[in-house]
Structure 1
């Protein structure tokens, strides 16, 4: 082999070594960013099975359906649940079952610590007033189907009162934990008083309307929207803070003044209930950037 040929082979081998050093290791190098968006990647995974629909179950196997109460009260806030928990003149007539809510940890008898949705009759003689006590969290995605279940199908009320609390992150303004207040929202039928039995009296007479720019979401909003769509006289009471002796007294005053005149709402035992002391506030206070 001649000297020029050996030299050429040597130069070629050096060139291949340099090229090999510059090549990326496909097994250890960080891969380039994906050309797909995160939501596009989900298209390759099988969809999760849909949740079964919630349903009502009554203690009477064959009730006169649909139920047509004069007033349907739906308690969502901690303070309103506390108020109605101490009402002795109520009869359990049914429950709302949500398949996503587990039964583990619930007691046999109704209790504030249970994750349940019970339906009570406040007037056992004629069942004209029904109470739905919702003691579990209903997700936003399930709010519309639960609202449809409670209003307009098996239960067709003349009037609806929803009791919920103000969510600080949706409120336009500052709320102090030492401040006790309540606001209202109403359907058009409630404002106009389109009801031959109850006349033009408002369920929440004397309360200020929820401030403009503030928002309500979740189950409370779905229930009020359901009333508006069905042309039902509906009202939403939003109280602040979530729980405490002062807001409990305020809700009792509102109910006794304009809603439940003949029902005893006095609490049993000590005024400071353990549930009010140690219950976790659903609406954790924080500074919202929504309106800044």
Structure 2
């Protein structure tokens, strides 16, 4: 007679290793890539492009602010194969799901204009390091990098007021030797994750001068003023802003921008 207590049970069809035997692995996603229409100076594209400053706009206020800059020129785009182009407009729009690359004028060094990458679509966590590596090596080799992101309340250790716009910074070791942003450091114990953290890490590895600026609140006109007056001035950016930028209140109310509002628990 079999001993039900000591007999080895038969394999279960619900074991994960057994299920994997019958499930084909998912095909890997194609790598993201850059597509340029022309070099920043209007000539045929020559690589690598070496901008004096590379700006990466991730936050809603920074996206709106740079969208209102009239002197920028569209020169390329970051292609994420998993992101569909359907629904995008012909002319750049804030409602597009795109990652466009622009050239901004640089009066101090006309031969090396500033590049701007505007992230208007979410980047999955597993793609962040690939995108960060793509934007800091090979085709684009920046001298300095400015990353504009938002404070995520779930990752912030202290309290924040809805009525006060604040900005904090993190920076690479190379930037710390001669910092440009006169801001307080992001509080100890707080966390920055996602694409902003991946970009800063990539710059640290390549010994690039880079600053990550995170602002609060995630939406609202006071943040625009903070970015335009302090951060632009710190990096010597002289940009003409369209008048409609002054009417910006809460971009997150737009149905195409899925940013959850923060509860009173963090105010």
1:95 paired to 2:77 = yes
Give the Cα–Cα distance (whole angstroms) in 1 for the partners of residues 21 and 190 of structure 2: 36
Is 1:213 aligned to residue 195 of structure 2? no
- Per-residue CA distance 1:224-262 (angstroms, 9 max, x = gap): 000000000000000011111111111111233201342
Contact 2:123 2:195 (8 Å CA) reproduced: yes
Offset at 1:269? 3.0
Normalization by structure 2: what TM-score? 0.84
TM-score normalised to structure 1 length: 0.78
> For residues 167-221 of structure 1, what are the alpha-carbon distances to aligned partners after superposition, in whole Å with 9 as ceiling and x for unaligned?
11111122232231110000000001xxxxxxx3x2312x100000111111101
1:115-130 mapped onto 2 (5 Å cutoff): 115-123=97-105, 125-130=110-115
C-alpha deviation, 1:129, in angstroms: 0.8
Is 2:21 the counterpart of 1:46?
no
Give the Cα–Cα distance (whole angstroms) in 1 for the partners of residues 249 and 185 of structure 2.
32
Question: CA, structure 1 residues 270+240, in 2 after alignment: closer, same or farther (shift >3 Å)?
Answer: closer
2:220 touches 2:250 (CA, 8 Å); kept in 1? no
Which residue of 1 is the match for residue 65 of structure 2? 83
Whether 1:269 aligns to 2:251 is no
Structure 2 distance, partners of 1:39, 1:136, is 35
1:59 aligns with 2:34: no
Is residue 238 of structure 1 aligned with residue 214 of structure 2?
A: yes
Take 1:39 and 1:183, find their aligned partners in 2: how far apart are those partners? 46
Residue of structure 2 equivalent to 1:282:
259
Say whether 1:258 aligns with 2:228: no
User: Where does the alignment leave 5 or more consecutive residues of structure 2 unmatched?
Assistant: 1-11
Q: Partner of 2:85: helix, strand, or coil?
A: coil
Report if the CA contact (8 A) 2:74-2:102 is conserved. Answer: yes
Q: Which has the larger radius of gyration?
A: 1
Which deviates the most, 166-175 or 69-78?
A: 166-175
* SS of the residue 1:93 aligns to: strand
Q: Distance in 2 between matches of 1:173 and 1:118?
A: 34
